[in-house]
Each structure stands twice: as structure tokens, then as C-alpha cells.
């Protein structure tokens, strides 16, 4: 079964971390990250092409970018003798001018800060239903991870990793009708540099090329253990930390996503008829995100699909207004 999927992984299969006793079902964090990256890029290439695209592009004010939305079913690979399972996914794609000087645009550094660095914490800024984010574990700050780590995967070298396990709580209104939802989400982001063009214009003279792309992946985890709070459970402290953080009546839901933001090569310069000179090419940033979710608590599958599509578009509008457009 793939790592990037809607069905939650068991907490007992988390990569080893100093704060959790090692268990036979766990893995080392380097191997888990590599396997995740090996899945992420092909999935990002596959979904926009295989899902059914909307007949028209969607506006996303205050951004000037038009958004391509698509949706459909992803078939997961299955073991021999088992029926393949399917998940409903939604994908959004948009191209943005790399500039913070014009209305409706944002710079590469703003995208990097808003969507890669502290991804879960920034989500609170542009998703109104997120009422709390609790970092449960952090691998990149632990003794198991060298901050200078680089990883070659399928011809691309990744660096500047952020790897966390977060508890994300959503509260909806009216609260008397809709119970809170909590997501236990393993999150990994990694930057890369492909191409001869610098990430920023000031990077052109730097000896080391700065990243001009990054990937962020979120996959769900869940307690499948019979008594995770038992005295002899390796995960009792983690379980207690989670239960203390969620409001009464919380339903644990699941969510998976894969996100790719990359700086496109500059377009050819255009001639200036008035001055007889060439204007500076305007670089573009491509933002692709694909997601699947299960709200739990009795929501029908049809409602989930429509809701996921709407959330995908609202995410763009809110993020741009609160995180990028306002910078």
C-alpha cells in the first residue's frame, strides 16, 4: 500500500523518534522520507492529468491567477488477490507572477514562507476553521536528523527538510450541530533546485543555487491500538498529549495531501516598441495541490466530494488574502 493515501497509518508504524520507544513495526526516518518523495512526484504528475477538469477556470481574487480545478477517483495499487481501493481526490493548479510589487501577485519568497516553512502553523492564518495546531513530534530538530541532510531521489536533490507530526483541530459553526474534527497528520516538506535560473534575482551571484521548488506532503495517522493509554503502552504519553488537546466530543477524521510549488523558467523577453529595448522577463510560479479527506461522523461520500472541491478553492482565496496578498 502507498504511503500517501486516505486510510490512516497506525501510530505504531511511525518512524523512530527519541520521544517514542522503538517498535518492530517502525522504520527509520530517512527511509520513510525517501519512500514518501518517491511517491510524491509521480503522484503530482499523475493526478492533474487523470482527474476530470472543470470546463472553465475559476477566478481567485485578490490574486490575478485563474485556477484549474479537477476531481475524480484515484485507484490505489492492491496486493495480489485483493480488490483495488479507490479514493476521491481534488486537484488545483494555478500560475502566479513572481512579484510582490503588483496587486494580485506574490513573490517566490512569500510562497516559500507561506506554504513550506511551518506549513501547519501557517494553515491557521488562511483556514478559519483551524482553531489549534499542536506539534506532537519533530524529526528535523531531533538527534536522528542532520540539518545539512540532502537526499537524491529520482534525479532530484532535496534539502531543507521539515518533518513533523501535528494535531490539527477544526471547529465549525454552529458548534451545537457540528462536532469538532481533529487530524493527526505527519507532514514533510523538502526544497530542491532544478534548472540554471536562480530562486531570486539577488541569488544570481551566489555560489550555491538556492531552491526553486519544494514539495509538501501530509498523510494521516491513527491510534488503532486497543488501549493506547495503558501503563505498558509505548504510546501512552503521546495519546495523553493528544486527548488533552482536543475539545470534548471531537471526532478524529483523516486528510492527505501533496503539494508542489515551483519557479518556472523565465519566458522569452519581449521587445519594447517605444524604447527599442527588451523588458525583463516576468517569471511565473506554478502551484499544484491535490488532496483527499474524510470528515467522518456520518457525512455521505457525495457530500465529501463536493465539500472537498469547495474547500480547495476557498483555501486558495483565503491563503492569498491572509498569507500572501497581505505581505
- In this prediction the pTM is 0.84
- Compute the average pLDDT of residues 249-259: 93
Q: What is the mean pLDDT of residues 240-258?
A: 93
Give the pLDDT of residue 99: 82
β-strand partners of 68: 93
Q: pLDDT over 90 for what percent of the chain?
A: 42
Flag whether pLDDT at 174 surpasses 60. yes
* 304 band by pLDDT with thresholds 50, 70 and 90: very low
State the Cα–Cα distance between residues 236 and 211, nearest whole angstrom: 39
Q: What is the pLDDT of residues 151-167, one digit of tens each?
A: 999 999 999 999 999 99
Beta strand 181-192 pairing with 156-170 = antiparallel
Under 8 Å between Cβ of 305 and 88: yes
Q: Domains in the chain, ordered, with CATH?
A: 9-267+283-324 (3.30.530.20)
Of 123-132, 140-149, 263-272, the one with minimum mean pLDDT is 263-272
Name the residue with higher pLDDT: 229 or 137: 137
- Average pLDDT of the chain is 80
State mean pLDDT over 194-213.
Answer: 62
Q: Within 10 A of 82 (CB to CB), how many other CB atoms are there?
A: 9
pLDDT recorded at residue 271: 36
Calculate ∠ Cα 39-43-44, nearest 5°: 120
Phi, psi of 64 (to 5 degrees): -80, -10
Model confidence pLDDT, tens digit, residues 23-61 = 766 689 999 999 999 999 999 989 888 999 998 988 877
What pLDDT, on the 0 to 100 scale, is given for residue 102? 75
Inform me whether the pLDDT recorded for 127 exceeds 80: no
DSSP state of 150: -
pLDDT at residue number 209: 61
For the segment 306-317, the average pLDDT, to the nearest whole number, is 44
Cell of 131: 482553531
Arithmetic mean of pLDDT, 123-134: 81
> Tell me, what's the pLDDT at 48?
85
Helical packing angle, 108-115 and 119-126, nearest 10°: 100
309: nearest Cα among 119, 126, 128, 89: 89
Which one has a higher pLDDT value, 299 or 254?
254
Check pLDDT > 70 for residue 128.
Answer: yes
What mean pLDDT comes out for the span 11-20? Answer: 90
Amino acid at each position: 500500500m502507498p504511503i500517501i493515501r486516505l486510510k490512516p497509518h497506525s501510530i505504531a508504524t511511525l518512524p523512530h523518534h527519541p520521544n517514542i520507544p522503538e517498535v518492530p513495526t517502525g522504520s527509520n526516518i530517512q527511509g520513510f522520507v525517501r519512500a514518501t518523495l518517491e511517491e510524491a512526484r509521480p503522484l503530482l504528475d499523475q493526478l492533474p492529468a487523470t482527474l476530470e477538469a472543470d470546463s472553465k477556470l475559476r477566478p481567485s481574487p485578490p490574486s490575478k491567477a485563474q485556477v484549474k480545478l479537477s476531481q475524480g477517483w484515484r485507484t490505489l495499487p492492491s496486493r495480489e488477490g485483493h480488490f483495488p481501493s479507490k479514493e476521491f481526490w481534488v486537484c488545483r493548479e494555478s500560475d502566479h507572477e513572481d512579484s510582490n510589487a503588483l496587486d494580485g501577485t506574490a513573490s517566490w519568497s512569500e510562497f516559500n514562507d507561506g506554504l513550506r516553512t511551518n506549513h501547519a502553523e501557517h494553515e491557521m492564518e488562511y483556514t478559519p476553521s483551524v482553531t489549534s495546531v499542536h506539534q506532537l513530534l519533530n524529526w528535523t530538530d531531533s538527534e536522528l536528523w542532520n540539518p545539512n541532510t540532502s537526499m537524491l531521489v529520482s534525479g532530484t536533490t532535496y534539502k531543507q527538510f521539515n518533518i513533523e507530526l501535528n494535531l490539527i483541530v477544526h471547529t465549525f459553526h454552529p458548534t451545537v450541530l457540528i462536532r469538532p474534527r481533529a487530524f493527526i497528520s505527519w507532514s514533510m516538506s523538502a526544497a530542491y533546485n532544478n534548472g540554471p535560473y536562480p530562486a531570486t534575482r539577488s541569488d544570481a551571484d551566489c555560489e550555491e543555487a538556492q531552491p526553486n521548488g519544494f514539495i509538501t506532503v501530509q498523510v494521516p495517522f491513527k491510534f488503532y491500538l486497543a488501549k493506547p493509554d495503558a501503563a505498558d503502552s509505548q504510546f501512552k504519553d503521546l495519546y495523553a498529549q493528544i486527548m488533552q488537546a482536543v475539545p470534548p466530543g471531537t471526532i478524529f477524521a483523516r486528510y492527505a495531501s501533496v503539494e508542489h510549488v515551483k519557479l518556472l523558467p523565465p519566458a522569452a523577453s519581449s521587445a519594447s516598441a517605444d524604447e527599442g529595448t527588451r523588458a525583463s522577463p516576468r517569471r511565473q510560479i506554478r502551484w499544484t495541490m491535490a488532496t483527499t479527506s474524510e470528515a467522518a461522523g456520518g457525512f455521505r461520500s457525495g457530500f465529501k466530494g463536493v465539500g472537498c472541491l469547495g474547500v480547495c478553492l476557498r483555501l486558495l482565496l483565503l491563503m492569498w488574502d491572509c498569507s500572501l496578498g497581505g505581505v
